[in-house]
């Protein structure tokens, strides 16, 4: 916190312009009802008055479609593959929300589990990208990050946490990458260290903003959601809960929830050939699709939407916590709540799972499955 600095809000465009000299800097841009990250344009200015981007910034690290390698189909080189070169340009994503940064720290554990299985595309993009997040002073009604281990001003996954103080902005470096970025801020931007009497006042204002934001979320009818009962039950018990048909009843299997989710990461790989050459392409996939994990024989392990809907929620709230030290595969950004065309609310599903798990009798012989 001693490295934190206070800047006039009017200085932010100059700071970002300085970073843009050596990097591609992406900032949130509001256009009508949509908010998306776009390359910083000094002529367009900078807006901090937005809730969250309409779509997750996940494509910066995990594009919707990407070429992994190229190969020849004819001649002496037939079958030889060459990995697609990774980009080298450094990047900054400014204005990302803490929930999305938390999602990327979660996906780091999926794509970079160990040296032998690190995904080079993900690792390369993550290594050359700095995340400058901005705390949420006014969380959206659909947000529930505090129930998923996060918070509106959490810093996990960020390199710098920015706090909007109104006419000023507090920048707090979190990582060495963030401190290096702070060191590049030009002297023309009048900065005040966040220490001493004035700095203490700014830190106090930032702390009050955090407390107020968390108080807003605590008043939500969905505050206090918990995975405790789900964690105590076996996979078999949660799988067999009698709630899934009802939850799936209105689902269209459109996939809007998975495509807007910052943590959904299922993909399909296809080889495309044309003449003497070909390429291997990775595309986003969705467990909502009837084709998802379908076998070449025609068999599909999830033939109806009930199984597909169940898979989505069990993956987030049962399978991923089991493999990631209890961390759910959800950060509570609320996008799926806002985007679902039939108003399926993931918070209501989680509550139903909790109630059903507490009420369900143990399905197996294990006594420790009983929920007190």
Q: pLDDT (tens digit, 9 = 90+) per residue, 23-40?
A: 999 999 988 889 999 999
Contact yes or no for 105/156 (Cβ under 8 A): yes
- Residue 371 is predicted with a pLDDT of 40
pLDDT class for 197, splitting at 50, 70, 90? low
Which residue would you say has higher pLDDT here, 2 or 228? 228
Helix (H) or strand (E) holding 23: none
Determine the pLDDT at residue 76.
Answer: 82
The predicted-structure confidence for 177-186, as pLDDT tens digits, reads as follows 999 999 999 8
pLDDT for the residue 367: 42
What is residue 78's predicted lDDT score, i.e. its pLDDT?
84
Domain spans of the chain, in order of start = 5-57+78-219, 227-359
Q: Measured between alpha carbons, how far is 81 from 69 in angstroms, rounded to an integer?
A: 6
Extended beta strands in 77-227, E state = 81-83, 91-96, 129-134, 160-164, 168-173, 191-193
Residue 256 tokens, joined: 């809007």
Q: Using alpha carbons, select from 255, 267, 256 the residue that is nearest to residue 62.
A: 267
pLDDT value of position 303: 92
Give me the chain's average pLDDT, please.
91
Is 80 exceeded by the pLDDT of residue 368? no
E strand residue ranges, 44-183:
65-72, 81-83, 91-96, 129-134, 160-164, 168-173
Q: H/E element holding 29?
A: strand 24-31
Q: What is the pLDDT of residue 369?
A: 47
Q: What is the pLDDT of residues 73-107, one digit of tens each?
A: 988 888 789 999 888 999 999 999 999 999 999 99
Q: Are 97 and 141 in contact (CB under 8 A)?
A: no
Which residues are within 8 A (CB) of 4 and not within 5 positions of it... i.e. 6 or more apart?
A: 170, 171, 172, 173, 193, 194, 199, 203
Q: In the predicted model, is pLDDT for residue 333 greater than 90?
A: yes
Q: Is the pLDDT of residue 370 over 50?
A: no
- Of residues 94, 98, 108, the one with CA closest to residue 29: 94
3-state secondary structure at position 346: helix
Nearest-angstrom CA–CA distance, 61 and 38: 15
The model's pTM: 0.91
Share of the chain above pLDDT 70, in %: 94
Do the beta carbons of residue 29 and residue 37 sit within 8 Å?
Answer: yes
Host H or E run for residue 153:
none
Does the pLDDT value for residue 199 go beyond 90? Answer: no
Could you count the other beta carbons within 10 Å of the beta carbon of residue 226?
A: 11
């Amino acid at each position: 916190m001693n490295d934190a600095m206070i800047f006039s809000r009017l200085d932010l465009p100059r700071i970002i312009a300085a970073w843009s000299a050596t990097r591609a800097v992406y900032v949130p841009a509001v256009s009508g009802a949509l908010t998306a990250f776009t390359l910083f344009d000094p002529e367009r200015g900078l807006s901090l008055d937005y809730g969250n981007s309409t779509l997750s910034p996940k494509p910066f690290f995990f594009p919707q479609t990407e070429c992994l390698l190229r190969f020849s189909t004819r001649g002496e080189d037939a079958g030889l593959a060459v990995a697609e070169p990774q980009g080298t340009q450094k990047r900054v994503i400014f204005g990302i929300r803490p929930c999305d940064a938390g999602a990327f720290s979660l996906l780091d554990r999926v794509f970079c589990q160990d040296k032998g299985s690190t995904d080079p595309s993900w690792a390369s993009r993550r290594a050359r990208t700095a995340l400058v997040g901005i705390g949420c002073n006014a969380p959206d009604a659909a947000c529930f990050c505090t129930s998923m281990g996060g918070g509106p001003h959490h810093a996990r996954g960020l390199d710098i946490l920015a706090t909007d103080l109104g006419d000023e902005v507090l920048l707090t470096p979190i990582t060495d990458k963030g401190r290096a970025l702070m060191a590049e801020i030009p002297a023309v931007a009048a900065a005040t260290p966040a220490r001493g009497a004035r700095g203490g006042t700014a830190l106090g204002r930032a702390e009050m903003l955090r407390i107020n934001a968390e108080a807003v979320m605590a008043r939500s009818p969905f505050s206090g959601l918990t995975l405790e009962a789900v964690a105590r039950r076996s996979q078999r018990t949660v799988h067999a809960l009698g709630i899934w048909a009802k939850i799936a009843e209105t689902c269209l299997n459109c996939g809007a929830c998975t495509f807007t989710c910052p943590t959904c990461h299922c993909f399909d790989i296809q080889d495309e050939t044309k003449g003497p050459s070909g390429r291997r392409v990775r595309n986003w996939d969705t467990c909502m699709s009837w084709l998802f994990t379908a076998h070449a024989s025609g068999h599909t392990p999830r033939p109806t939407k009930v199984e597909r809907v169940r898979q989505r929620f069990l993956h987030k709230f049962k399978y991923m916590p089991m493999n990631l030290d209890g961390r759910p595969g959800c950060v509570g950004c609320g996008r799926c709540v806002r985007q679902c065309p039939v108003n399926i609310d993931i918070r209501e599903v989680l509550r139903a799972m909790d109630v059903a798990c507490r009420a369900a009798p143990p399905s197996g012989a294990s006594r420790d499955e009983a929920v007190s």
